[in-house]
Amino acid sequence: DGGDGGPSREAEAANNHTAVVERFATISPFSEPGVTVGRRATGSLVTRRADPHSHAELDDEFDLIADDDDNDNDGPPPRPLALSIGSLPPDRPDADHPITTDESDAVCLARVRSMQNKDKKKASEVAEVKDAVKQSTALSGGDANSNAVTTKKMYFYRTPMVRNELSDKFAIFAGPSSESLGRDIAHLLGLHLNAMDVGQFADGETSCHIRESVRGKEVYIINSTTSVNALMELLLVISTLRRASAKRIIAVIPYYGYSRQDRRVMGVREPIAAADVAKMLEEVGVDRVMCMDLHNDSLRGFFSPRTPVEHLLPGPVAAAYFHEEFCSLDEANESPYPPITVVAAHEGQVARATEFRKVLQKLSGEDIPMAFISKSRQHGHQKEYEPVLVGDVKGRKCIIVDDIVNTGTTLRNSIGQLKENGAESVYAWATHGVFGSPNNDAPEKLQATPGLDYLLISNSVSINR
C-alpha cells in the first residue's frame, strides 16, 4: 500500500511492465513461441516465457534471462538483460545499469574468451580446407563433390559458389558445340545448365527452343563457332533470347570461328569474314562477347564500342602444367631442371610464345631462351613452304606454342625442323584443337609423328572421337 490508499510502488511497476511488454512483443527480433519480449520505459530489454527450459539455446545465444520459476504470465516481472552480468541496486529495482562484481566480471570475460576461441577454431578449419585444396593432385572436371580446379600441384581456381539470391537473376546455356565445357563451367559455379533444345528440321534448317523463362535475366550462352552450323545455332539462340526479353545477353565463344580471315590479301577479292561474324552477332542483339585466345587480338576492333569484348588467355595455365611435368621428371631422375627452349610455331606466334615463356621462367626460376620457325610464303594461299629455324635448340627440350591445330601440317613441319637441328625432345601446346570434321585425320597423323612426346590442347572445342 502506498500509504494514501493507492497502489504500491511495486504493483504500479508491474502494471507498467505488462503494458510495455504487450506493446513491443510483436516487433521484437527475438520473438519466439512461448516467449514474450519487450522493453521497459527506461529502455532495458525484458523477457517472459511460458517454459524456461524450451528455449535454452536462445538464452545462450542472446543472453536472454527469464523467470526462475515455471510460472506463466502470473509470475513476477522478468529481469532485465543487465542481470546477466551484474546485480541491480537494492534501492532501485527498475534501474538500467547493474552494479558489477568481480564474479560477474569473471563470467563476462569467460564468455568473451569462449567466443574468441570459437572464432579461432573456425578460422583454423577454413585454413585446413584451403591447404587441402591447394595440395589437391586431381584435375576436377566432373566430380560433383569438388569445387576446385588445379593442375597437379598449382592452385588456379576455387569457385565462390553463386549465392542463392543471385542464381535466379541469370541463366547459363550451352550450345551443342560446347555442351561439355558448359557443364564444367556450371559445375564450378555450383549450378546446373539451363535447358534448351537445338537441332535441325527435316530439311536441314536449324531449330532452337528455350525451355525456361529468361525474362529480365542476365543470360550467358556458351558456344564455339567451329562450323557454319555452330555459327547459325549461336545466332539463332541469341535472337531467341532477345525476343524472350532477356535483360542482357553475353556470348561466351571459346573458339571464334573465321578468326583467321581477319584481313584481305592484296590483289585478292575476298571477305573479311571475322568482321562479318562480329556484325552478325551485334545485329541479332548480343550485349557482350567473351573469347579465348583469339587468332589476332585486333579482332576485338571489329565490334562496335557498345559491345565490349573480353579476351581470355590460357597460356599461364599451360605453362604451369609443363612446369609441373618437368619438375616431376627432375624428382624421378634426381637431376636439375632440364634445359628448355620455347619455340613459336611461326612469326605470328612470337607474342604468344613470349608470354608463355615469361610465366615458365617465373615458375622455374631458370633463364629460358626462345626460338621461332619462319614459314615465309610468296602469297597467302600458297600451301607449300620451307620452314627455317631461328634459334639454338641442340640438346634441349622444346615446347612449340601455337593457337590452333587443324590439319597439323605446320606442327609436323616444326617438329621435323627441330629434330633436324638436334632437339632432345619436342612437346607442343595449342589452345584450340579444331578436329571436328569427319574427314580430318590430323589426330591420327600427329599420333604417328616421330619425335613428338605429346600435344597439349584445351577443351575450347569438343572432340567427339
- Told to judge if 419 belongs to the known catalytic residues of this protein, a careful annotator would answer no
Among residues 120, 152, 217, 375, the one annotated as catalytic is 375
Helix/strand/coil (H, E, C) string of the chain? CCCCCCCCHHHHHHHHHHHHHHHHHHHCCCCECCEEEEECCCCCEEEEECCCCCCHHHHHHHCCCCCCCCCCCCCCCCCEHHHHCCECCCCCCCCCCCECCHHHHHHHHHHHHHHHHHHHHHHHHHHHHHHHHHCCCCCCCCCCCCCEEECCCCEEEECCCCCHHHHCCEEEEECHHHHHHHHHHHHHCCCCCCCEEEEECCCCCEEEEECCCCCCCEEEEECCCCCHHHHHHHHHHHHHHHHCCCCEEEEEECCCCCCCCCCCCCCCCCCCHHHHHHHHHHHHCCCEEEEECCCCHHHHHHCCCCCCEEEECCHHHHHHHHHHHHHHHHHHHCCCCCCEEEEECCHHHHHHHHHHHHHHHHHHCCCCCEEEEECCCCCCCCCCCCCEEECCCCCCEEEEEEEEECCCHHHHHHHHHHHHCCCCEEEEEEEEECCCCCCCCHHHHHHCCCCEEEEEECCCCCCCC
- Residues with catalytic roles: 375
